[in-house]
């Protein structure tokens, strides 16, 4: 999906669903795919769509929700991702 620029008005869930519609192998070639996302991906319909594709959503719970399965792992995973994204500045 290199070079794809989604419409900025589209919801992130719609963009991911469209990507998986266009490139279904992204999910089917990865059994038990775990999608790690933020609270903004919360939607019963979206989670059902991911489950239909064989994927599972890992996201933080809202205050009104009970803790979600795997939620305790999110902090360490997020720190790891942020550490990879932070690049040291080149020395002059």
Contact indicator for 58, 70 with CB cutoff of 8 Å = yes
- Convert the pLDDT of each residue in 64-92 to its tens digit: 988 888 888 888 887 787 777 666 666 66
Q: Residue 57: beta bridge partners?
A: 35
Structure pTM? 0.71
φ/ψ of residue 33, rounded to 5: -60, 135
Cα–Cα distance, 79 to 23 (Å, whole number):
29
Distance of alpha carbon 48 from alpha carbon 51, whole angstroms: 5
pLDDT digits (tens, 9 = 90+) for 14-49: 888 988 999 999 888 998 899 988 888 999 999 999
């Amino acid at each position: 999906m290199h070079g794809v620029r989604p419409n900025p008005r589209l919801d992130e869930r719609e963009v991911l669903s469209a990507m998986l519609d266009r490139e279904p192998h992204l999910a089917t070639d990865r059994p038990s795919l775990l999608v790690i996302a933020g609270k903004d991906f919360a939607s019963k319909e979206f989670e059902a769509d991911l489950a239909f594709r064989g994927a599972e959503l890992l996201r933080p719970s809202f205050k009104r929700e009970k803790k979600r399965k795997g939620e305790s792992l999110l902090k360490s995973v997020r720190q790891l991702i942020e550490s990879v994204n932070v690049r040291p500045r080149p020395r002059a």
